[in-house]
Amino acid sequence: MSPIDATDALAAIFVVLMLLGMVPTVASLVQYLIIGWQSVRNNYSKCADYTPRVAFVLPAWNEADVIGSSIDSLMGLHYPPGHWRIYVVDDASTDNTPAVMREKMAQYPGSVFHLRREVGGQGKAHTLNHGLKIILSEDWAEAVMIMDADVLFEPVTLRRMTRHLADPSVGGVTAYVKEGSFPGNLVTRFVAFEYITAQAAARRAQNVLGVLACMAGGAQLHSRENLVAIGGQIDTSSLAEDTFTTFRTQLGGKRVVFDGNAIVWAEEPDSLAALWKQRIRWARGNLQLTAAFRKLWFRRSQHPKLGGFTFGVLWFSVALLPVFMIMGSIGVIGLYYLRPPWAWSAFATLWSTSLIIYLFETLFSLLIDPATARRTWLEGILFPGLVSLTIMLLILVPPSVSPLFNGPYWSGQVGWSWRDIPVQMILAWPGISTIFAWTVFRIDRAGAWRWLRNLLLILIGYGPVMCAISFGAMVAQYKNADLRWDKTVKSGKARIRK
């Protein structure tokens, strides 16, 4: 191969890397474009006024601050009297949880049950299984709601979920978990907006595709038949027991449905340090699942929907998000040295596409859930971070007049200089922002001033924080770090908001 051919081949590789860097953005756009179909392609036509006897299973480890409110919200459900029971599986709590349970059992006799494990600490899945074993050993329950101890149900949420089980092809139903901390802060408002995109939007799109990536562990309703069919137990080998259950349900031939109008409220982490801990657990769980179902991906013969191309791309665009971001950055930086004019085109394509998709998705997200949008619209706008937003605006300035890009550095006339560094920082921002986001997390964990954490978070963006967490999860998996169940501490701040 001649030197010219080798350069061309390398440039082509960089172009491919740049294009791969756009996969998550484009996959997200595809998901958003199909949401509208939910208006005609939904499960409501198959619903009926079905009110099975439902057993709620609440795993609890030191949940004295929140368990009472959760039970009260569940006892206020609009549902036929006597058709639901609450089983709190106490994972050997050392706080006041047993006393709270004694009080609640006296307040709601025959409806609230305390299942105590004397030896605990094995994690949520083991705790759930202790409860499921007892519930399924009796004939009473016709459906089982797996949830978290801090989750608050709106009065009509159960009714909205059980109606889908009237369709015998449906094995599980999940609700829209909203962030309900009161008072909230910048982090919880970012989470609230994120949940519009990741649940209210993405899961509606997955409804249209006929396949769901995850039934939220905070509100996961199963028919008894489905729960028995998947073994009557929750997977204990991973950190993503809810996603495993979702996959096993669908692989067993049942459908799962997301009902965006069935709403529950939860307290989510209010600091980056706590958020990191929670999301590392989720992301590692997803990587474990990716490996456990390795024979499923992109193989329709394994499952027509889970093994389909569209779902595979959607799954990996999230699971491998930092890999795509880094590939995109390498692609543009490589072109910058190899083919400077191409680098400008690649950079402009990457960011102008991102800008258009960002505008569409942000506006649509705010319209999907106007109630949440009223308190999180600013976080929605700031989601990518001020640095990314500035780069997007710079792209709008035509290169002929841009002070940044109208120089010798795009013409390939000069060698490396110190002035390359800021240009390369901008070019590689999708990848580099991951490092900055990790730094913000470390600063927050070190106990930095709240205003400094907030300022840095606004500059770097919440999106890059999610990307950094995914990268952290990959590193932890690679290093085979301990699979500890790091529980997210809840203080009882969640409220049902009107």
State the residues that interact with another protein by CB under 8 A: 32-33, 35-40, 42, 44, 47, 49, 51, 78, 80, 156, 159-160, 163, 204, 259-261, 356, 359-360, 363-364, 367-368, 396, 398
Q: Which is nearer to another protein, 1 or 40 (CB)?
A: 40
Q: Which is nearer to another protein, 32 or 441 (CB)?
A: 32
**Least distance in angstroms from the C-beta of 252 to another protein:** 27
Q: Which is nearer to another protein, 80 or 422 (CB)?
A: 80
**Least distance in angstroms from the C-beta of 364 to another protein:** 4
Sign of the torsion angle spanned by Cα atoms 375, 377, 378, 379 = positive
**Least distance in angstroms from the C-beta of 124 to another protein:** 30
Contacts of 416 (CB under 8 A, 6+ apart): none
Q: Is 443 exposed, middle or buried (0-12, 13-18, 19+ CB in 10 A)?
A: middle
Helix ranges (DSSP H) in 201-320: 202-209, 224-229, 241-251, 272-292, 309-319
Per-residue tokens: 320: 């491998």
**Least distance in angstroms from the C-beta of 408 to another protein:** 23
CA 492 to chain centre: 22
Q: Which is nearer to another protein, 26 or 443 (CB)?
A: 26
Q: Which is nearer to another protein, 176 or 471 (CB)?
A: 176
Alpha carbons 124 and 17: distance in angstroms, whole number: 40
Per-residue tokens: 18: 């740049």
Alpha carbons 491 and 134: distance in angstroms, whole number: 29
CA atoms within 13 A on the CB side of 366: 16
Per-residue tokens: 393: 């605006």
Q: Which is nearer to another protein, 163 or 255 (CB)?
A: 163
Secondary element (H or E) of residue 323: helix 321-338
**Least distance in angstroms from the C-beta of 349 to another protein:** 13
How wide is the angle at C-alpha 380 spanned by C-alphas 22 and 368, nearest 5°? 90
**Least distance in angstroms from the C-beta of 466 to another protein:** 22
End-to-end CA distance of the chain, in Å?
A: 68
Q: CA dist 363 to 55, 368, 381, 386, 390, Å?
A: 39, 9, 9, 17, 18
Q: Which is nearer to another protein, 84 or 113 (CB)?
A: 84
Q: Which is nearer to another protein, 356 or 414 (CB)?
A: 356
Residue 418 neighbours by CB distance under 10 Å:
6
Q: Which is nearer to another protein, 149 or 205 (CB)?
A: 205
**Least distance in angstroms from the C-beta of 395 to another protein:** 11
Q: Which is nearer to another protein, 80 or 304 (CB)?
A: 80
**Least distance in angstroms from the C-beta of 306 to another protein:** 24
Phi-psi region of 190 (alpha: psi -120 to 50; beta: other; left: phi over 0): alpha
Alpha carbons 297 and 108: distance in angstroms, whole number: 47
**Least distance in angstroms from the C-beta of 357 to another protein:** 9
Alpha carbons 347 and 349: distance in angstroms, whole number: 5
**Least distance in angstroms from the C-beta of 208 to another protein:** 10
Q: Is 123 exposed, middle or buried (0-12, 13-18, 19+ CB in 10 A)?
A: buried
